[in-house]
Amino acid sequence: MLTQNQIDGVIAFHGHHCPGLTFGMKVGDWVLNEFGHAPDEEIVAVVETDMCAVDAIQYLVGCTFGKGNLVFLDYGKNAYSFFRRSDGKSCRLVTRGGLLSDLREQQEKLDANDIAGREQIRQQMIDRIFQADFGEIFSICSVRVSVPETARIHASKRCDSCGELVMATRLLNDPVLTGGKNLCIPCRTVYRE
């Protein structure tokens, strides 16, 4: 169970409290109990959404983009995979859906200017998520992706088109596709010879 200090810290980190952040707090609390906190790159999170929940996971579990132990897959799913490097423990948490269906329907019926009504439903959503058992919200599945490698520092090279430095592993140098030029991702999408 998260402490009030942890909850307050997550809200401060994110900037506001919302249902999405509360989902992330439920995930973060579960992961802390099952996997522990990521002191460095020990715990890896692979998230399939860029919604508010990810901020709670970063704050609580310690998985961040900068350390390389937070990987974003743009799938649009409220699904989160976790790995513990020391023993290979892993799981994938997937939102079941339906928990907030009635409240979302009520929210959709409200007039766009009914701020008080929207705030009341938002708070009901937050309360319901906090009060729900973890199994009501998430199913625990086997992992679909392999554990990402530890973060590595790569040399930087200049893109032959824009001249900006880019990680060498992100450059494309292909005789057919780029005419043998080193091109970064944005430049190779618009490359015309």
CB 93 within 8 A of CB 45: no
| Cα(60)–Cα(62) distance, integer angstroms | 6
Q: What is the pLDDT of residues 8-66, one digit of tens each?
A: 999 999 999 999 999 999 999 999 999 998 788 899 999 999 999 999 999 999 999 98
pLDDT, average across residues 75-93: 94
- HSE (CB half, 13 Å, CA atoms) of 118? 8
pLDDT(152) > 90: no
Q: How large a percentage of the chain has pLDDT more than 90?
A: 68
Q: Is 173 exposed, middle or buried (0-12, 13-18, 19+ CB in 10 A)?
A: middle
pLDDT(132) > 70: yes
pLDDT tier, 190 (very low <50, low <70, confident <90, very high otherwise): low
- What domains are there in the chain, each with its CATH number? 4-141 (3.30.1330.130), 156-189 (no CATH)
Q: How large a percentage of the chain has pLDDT more than 70?
A: 95
pLDDT, average across residues 140-167: 83
